[in-house]
Amino acid sequence: MTPRVVRSLRLFAVVGALAGWAAPAAGADRVADQAARWTERIGTRVQDAPDPIAGLSDAQLAGSRLVVGFDGRSAPGALRHKAAAGELGGVILFTRNVGSRSQVRRLAASFQAAARRAPGGPPLLIMIDQEGGQVSRLPGPPGRSPAEVGDTDSVAVARSEGRATGRSLAGVGINVDLAPVVDVARPGTNMDDLDRSFGPRTGRVTRLATAFAAGLGAGGVLSTAKHFPGLGLARGDEDFHLNRIDEPLSRLRRVDEPPFVRARTPLVMVSTGVYPALDDTPALFSRRITTGELRDHLGFAGTAITDDLEVPAIARSGSPATRAVSAARAGNDLLLFAQNAGNGFAAARGVAAALAEGTLDRAAFEAAARRTLDLRSRLR
């Protein structure tokens, strides 16, 4: 990680640290207000900078919204080429990409060296799922699963786990954690069985997720609340089952949705679940959910990222390009193809074609690309 990246991550650390240190005395609402004010100040500085999408081609606009997975422990030449051409937003790492810490550090540095050659040279988003417990891709913290943190009901423990995780990830060049899970897991559900949730109560999940996210920021890593608008009632693994969440809208809004905005994470991941109270299509393909509920109703102004667009749960939703276009039209900013980079590149070509043909709204598309590039520019 370059000194410029570290300097900007320290700015995020200030936001996270302020929120975390204030929690015991100020209460959740005041903490959220503090975080919002600091985030707004950061956003103002970014908006005052030159327009990050000025002069970009449709291929670059589409590629800037793409996050892909890949095989192996070194950066593939095709991905480095896309990064250097400004046609890649980020990569996601799994255990298949992880050997030693020094190897991961070299891998991240190789990607960032390529990204610096792109127009404007914003750093890539280098992501990992490091929730703790059963979902941990890199050896090291967090030392407790979300459920174990929930059992302590301690903001200090959650913040400490987040800070240790952030320091560990930042130390190898990873700048985005796809955590915390903020699903309010009811007893006997999949999230409960796998210990991926902080608990069954909205207040506890919100407090601990806020503290964990603040800790990640203090450690130098961006946090992601997942899986909007909540998989706390899901009975099956979201990657393999198209979970139908039969919950009234009033209860979704009262129980499941609040942690996604109160935790003040810069990213929110949109789920593969179906929520009949809002729409009959998976959330990540639903404009009513991704735009109407997350942005318009809850006021989320950060970066929305899809869950993996390659999982079996949505295999019947069309080609990679069709899925990507549907997810972009719904209002997602980042399009995640976690399994096969080739499918991601095909999807980006389809998205660029849809933009050129006018089947995707250009103003909305450019706004999404601008949000992703602004996010990346903060990592300088």
Handedness of CA 83, 338, 277, 196 (dihedral sign): negative
Question: Which string of b and e fits 19-50 if b means at least 16 CB within 10 Å?
Answer: bbebbeeeebeebbebbbebbeebbeeeeeee
Query: What is residue 267's predicted lDDT score, i.e. its pLDDT?
Result: 98
* Length of the chain, in residues: 380
Query: What is residue 354's predicted lDDT score, i.e. its pLDDT?
Result: 96
Query: What is residue 380's predicted lDDT score, i.e. its pLDDT?
Result: 64
Backbone angles phi, psi at 76, to 5 degrees: -60, 145
Rounded to whole angstroms, the Cα distance separating 214 from 20 reads 6
Residue 66, C-beta contacts closer than 8 angstroms, at least 6 positions apart:
87, 88, 89, 90, 334, 335, 337, 344, 345, 347, 348
Residue with token string 């995780």: 165
Give the pLDDT means over successive 10-residue stretches in the chain (380 positions): 38 37 38 41 49 90 97 96 96 96 97 93 96 92 96 97 97 97 95 95 97 95 97 86 93 97 95 97 97 97 97 91 97 97 96 95 96 89
Query: What is residue 113's predicted lDDT score, i.e. its pLDDT?
Result: 97
Query: What is residue 10's predicted lDDT score, i.e. its pLDDT?
Result: 39
Query: What is residue 9's predicted lDDT score, i.e. its pLDDT?
Result: 39
Rounded to whole angstroms, the Cα distance separating 106 from 189 reads 39
Residue 40, C-beta contacts closer than 8 angstroms, at least 6 positions apart:
none
CATH numbers and ranges of domains, the chain: 3-377 (3.20.20.300)
Query: What is residue 51's predicted lDDT score, i.e. its pLDDT?
Result: 85
Query: What is residue 32's predicted lDDT score, i.e. its pLDDT?
Result: 44
